[in-house]
């Protein structure tokens, strides 16, 4: 009998351990990036790819810039209807960049469909490339601000191709609270994107004509770099949207207390002593590292920099960037 109890206890313990490892920690989001040359794949072909991804439970699908070609489409057109149907059918978000004719203008646009298949938001390319003003369908630069949308997994922003050359676009995405930026493009990007992820602490995911995919972490580290010679390159990966960066300043003692008292729930995932930054991550399912950090009074790096900029401008008596430029800035309060 004692042996039987021991065996049963061992079995239940192993089941518990396996279930803990099988369950997902933090706030994981399954992302798929499709990369292929513009105009080479039909709507039907891409719809089949998205259907396969949808059946596997992908949360977000990213498509490359102007993927159907350079001839303008309408917001009520067949591509929009098909992407809307797929997003609703598979309960996923889809980032669908198209050349769109809207209100009498031709625009290079990223359209986000939500899990119900509705158009959640639209971003028009702020800085089209020079060749886009030539030819039969010249585009118009965006007349509005960047767009950041609250999804059920975090705040998502958008940037398109030549936008990568203009830091103000990326600063505005950060100012509006983006946690993930989807960059659809004709070219690969590379380290210029790394600079923005490092400065602004959001994930950056690419989908390009070059049949490749880059993913940059909130720390500026390269998380993924994949490329293939296939007609369509596919990358599928997970991002933990619960992770945030904190500075040592004003946080060190609080971090020590948190890690001591909550060692079974949260861990120090990344420690960058030269930058004096760190990243916390949940150890077990059902725990939020960022919520625990709030409970212990930790201040994110973003909030710390905003507070410092505003506070130092107040002491100075005027806004440094408002007087000298270099940052879109916030008014002195």
- DSSP annotation of 163 reads G
- DSSP annotation of 21 reads H
Q: Per-residue pLDDT for 186 more than 80?
A: yes
At 326 the pLDDT is 78
At 328 the pLDDT is 62
Residues 75-93, mean pLDDT to the nearest whole number: 98
Percentage of the chain lying above the pLDDT 70 cut: 91
- Cα–Cα dist 304/250, whole Å: 9
Residues 214-241, mean pLDDT to the nearest whole number: 98
State the number of CA atoms in the 13 A half-sphere of 2 facing the CB.
0
At 322 the pLDDT is 86
Q: Per-residue pLDDT for 21 more than 60?
A: no
φ/ψ (deg, to 5) at 209: -75, -10
**Higher model confidence: residue 4 or residue 52?**
52
At 10 the pLDDT is 44
**Higher model confidence: residue 162 or residue 24?**
162
- Cα–Cα dist 29/239, whole Å: 5
Q: Look at the alpha carbons of 22, 28, 224, 237 in this order and tell me if their dihedral is positive or negative.
A: positive
At 23 the pLDDT is 65
φ/ψ (deg, to 5) at 146: -65, 165
At 325 the pLDDT is 82
Q: Per-residue pLDDT for 71 more than 50?
A: yes
Q: ∠ at Cα 159 (154, 161), nearest 5°?
A: 150
pLDDT in tens, 100-158: 999 999 999 999 999 999 999 999 999 999 999 998 999 999 999 999 999 999 999 99
**Higher model confidence: residue 67 or residue 18?**
67
DSSP run (H or E) holding 34? strand 28-35
Residues 15-21, mean pLDDT to the nearest whole number: 36
- Cα–Cα dist 238/29, whole Å: 5
pLDDT in tens, 37-60: 999 999 999 999 999 999 999 999
**Higher model confidence: residue 330 or residue 177?**
177
Residues 234-246, mean pLDDT to the nearest whole number: 98
- Cα–Cα dist 315/311, whole Å: 6
Q: How would you write 235-277 as a 3-class SS string?
A: EEEEEECCCEEEECCCCHHHHHHHHHHCCCCEEEEEEECCCCE
What is the pLDDT confidence band of residue 2, given thresholds at 50, 70 and 90?
low
Q: Per-residue pLDDT for 197 more than 90?
A: yes
Instruction: Kindly report the average pLDDT of the chain as a whole number.
Output: 92
**C-alpha closest to that of 223 among 245, 242, 238, 241:** 238
Q: Tell the CATH topology of 28-240.
A: Nitrilase/N-carbamoyl-D-aminoacid amidohydrolase (3.60.110)
At 18 the pLDDT is 33
DSSP run (H or E) holding 313? helix 301-316
What is the pLDDT confidence band of residue 202, given thresholds at 50, 70 and 90?
very high
């Amino acid at each position: 009998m004692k042996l039987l109890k021991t065996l049963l206890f061992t079995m239940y313990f192993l089941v518990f351990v396996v279930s803990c490892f099988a369950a997902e920690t933090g706030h994981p989001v399954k992302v798929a990036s499709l990369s292929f040359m513009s105009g080479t794949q039909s709507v039907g072909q891409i719809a089949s790819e998205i259907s396969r991804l949808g059946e596997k439970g992908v949360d977000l699908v990213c498509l490359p810039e102007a993927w159907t070609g350079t001839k303008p489409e309408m917001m009520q057109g067949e591509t929009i209807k098909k992407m809307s149907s797929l997003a609703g059918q598979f309960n996923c978000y889809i980032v669908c960049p198209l050349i769109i004719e809207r209100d009498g203008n031709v625009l290079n646009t990223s359209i986000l469909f939500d899990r119900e298949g509705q158009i959640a938001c639209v971003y028009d390319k702020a800085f089209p490339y020079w060749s886009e003003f030539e030819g039969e369908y010249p585009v118009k630069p965006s007349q509005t601000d960047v767009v950041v949308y609250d999804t059920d997994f975090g705040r998502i922003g958008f940037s398109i191709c030549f936008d990568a050359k203009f830091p103000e676009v990326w600063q505005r995405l950060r100012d509006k609270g983006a946690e993930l930026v989807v960059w659809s493009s004709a070219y690969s990007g590379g380290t210029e994107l790394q600079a923005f992820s490092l400065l602004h602490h959001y994930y950056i995911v690419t989908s390009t004509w070059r049949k490749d995919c880059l993913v940059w972490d909130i720390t500026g580290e390269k998380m993924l770099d994949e490329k293939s010679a296939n007609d369509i390159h596919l990358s599928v990966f997970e991002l933990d949207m619960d992770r945030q960066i904190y500075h040592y300043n004003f946080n060190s003692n609080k971090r020590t207390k948190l890690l001591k008292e909550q060692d079974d729930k949260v861990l120090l995932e990344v420690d960058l002593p030269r930058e004096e930054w760190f990243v916390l991550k949940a150890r077990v399912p059902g725990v939020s590292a960022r919520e625990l950090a709030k409970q212990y009074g930790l201040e994110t790096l973003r909030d710390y920099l905003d507070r410092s900029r505003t506070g130092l401008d107040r002491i100075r008596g005027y806004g440094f960037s408002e007087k000298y430029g270099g940052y879109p800035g916030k008014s002195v309060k």
